[in-house]
């Protein structure tokens, strides 16, 4: 069995199992009552000290629907390795301090025929964008299979096609991992992120660019598919690192949204 080992345990989140469990429980406890589970989520992927509270607002929506979800698509940007297209791994498991998550090899293999999909472990090995979401999912879901997608030089249409193929029913959850604006002063970030949030909430995928969100291609692809299926984004949280940790002179924006299957 090939295992993708954790790359940012001890950096973005605690490496100790008990400390990580306690931190996830603490963050989830700060979130609002979940209600019914969503079809898709947008969640941030910074260190938990910075964006954990916002991520928890997204993942807490799973509390009342954990038994229905059997597989999770997690798609996020490539930060470290250049990817021409969308990279799927060849590994069988993703590991975190909370244990191993099996990869849905059948679903991953079915994507290989798409011309913009590549099979490569190198983009996944150092990548934090997917990894930091996994402890939340491991805590809230009893068990699930993972479809991990790292997106690089690709079009929103490519992301939408992949998500459309993987959409499934209530057994499938889609998680888009993305932060918002990067390294502006606090007031500028607030303005830019408010504009991005408004674009997401009106399904205006074409308004999004790399200056708005590091995962804008995946976000735009999700919006293309949710719009086609008549699902709407509902904001759960919006802030930046100046609100959570760090100075307000150079901040990163974070947002969380849910897309409800009941709206379709």
Count of structural domains, the chain: 1
Instruction: Give the whole-angstrom CA distance, residue 218 versus residue 79.
Output: 14
Tokens representing residue 161 in the block: 């096609």
For residue 66, what pLDDT is reported?
Answer: 66
Q: Phi and psi (nearest 5°) for 110?
A: -70, -20
Choice among 180-184, 200-204, 260-264 with the minimum mean pLDDT: 260-264
pLDDT range class, residue 263, cuts 50, 70, 90: very low
Percent of residues, the chain, with pLDDT higher than 70:
97
Q: What percent of the chain clears pLDDT 90, i.e. is strictly above it?
A: 92
Give the CATH number, domain containing residue 185: 3.40.830.10
The pTM score is: 0.96
Q: Find, among 11, 48, 8, 77, the residue nearest to 136 by Cα.
A: 48
Which tens digit of pLDDT belongs to each residue from 104-118?
A: 999 999 999 999 999
pLDDT (tens digit, 9 = 90+) per residue, 59-100?
999 987 667 899 999 999 999 999 999 999 999 999 999 999
Q: What is the pLDDT of residue 246?
A: 86
Q: Residue 49's domain spans which residues? A: 3-263
Query: How far apart are the C-alpha atoms of 25 and 142, rounded to whole Å?
Result: 15
Do residues 210 and 216 make contact, with C-beta atoms less than 8 angstroms apart? yes
Q: Which of 83, 108, 87, 75 is nearest to 219 (CA)?
A: 75
- Contact yes or no for 252/196 (Cβ under 8 A): no
Q: Is pLDDT of 251 > 50? A: yes
Q: Cα–Cα distance between 75 and 89 in angstroms, integer?
A: 12
Contacts of 231 (CB under 8 A, 6+ apart): 39, 40, 259, 260, 261, 263, 264
Is pLDDT of 38 > 60?
Answer: yes
């Amino acid at each position: 069995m090939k295992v993708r080992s954790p790359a940012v345990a001890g950096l973005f989140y605690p490496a100790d199992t008990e400390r990580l469990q306690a931190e996830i429980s603490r963050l989830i406890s700060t979130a609002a009552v979940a209600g019914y589970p969503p079809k898709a989520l947008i969640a941030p992927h910074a260190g938990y000290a910075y964006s954990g509270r916002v991520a928890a607002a997204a993942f807490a929506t799973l509390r009342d629907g954990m038994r229905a979800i059997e597989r999770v698509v997690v798609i996020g940007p490539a930060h470290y390795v250049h990817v021409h297209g969308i990279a799927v791994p060849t590994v069988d498991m993703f590991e975190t301090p909370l244990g191993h998550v099996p990869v849905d090899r059948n679903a991953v293999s079915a994507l290989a025929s798409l011309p913009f999909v590549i099979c490569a472990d190198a983009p996944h090995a150092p990548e934090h964008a997917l990894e930091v979401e996994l402890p939340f999912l491991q805590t809230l879901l009893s068990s699930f299979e993972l479809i991990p997608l790292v997106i690089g030089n690709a079009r929103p249409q490519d992301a939408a096609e992949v998500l459309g193929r993987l959409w499934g029913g209530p057994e499938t959850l889609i998680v888009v991992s993305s932060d918002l604006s990067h390294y502006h002063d606090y007031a500028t970030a607030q303005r830019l992120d408010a504009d991005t949030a408004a674009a997401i909430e009106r399904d205006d995928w074409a308004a999004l660019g790399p200056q708005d969100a590091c995962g804008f291609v995946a976000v735009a692809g999700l919006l293309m598919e949710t719009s086609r299926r008549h699902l709407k984004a509902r904001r759960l949280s919006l802030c930046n690192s100046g609100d959570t940790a760090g100075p307000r002179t150079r901040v990163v924006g974070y947002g969380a949204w849910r897309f409800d299957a009941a709206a379709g």
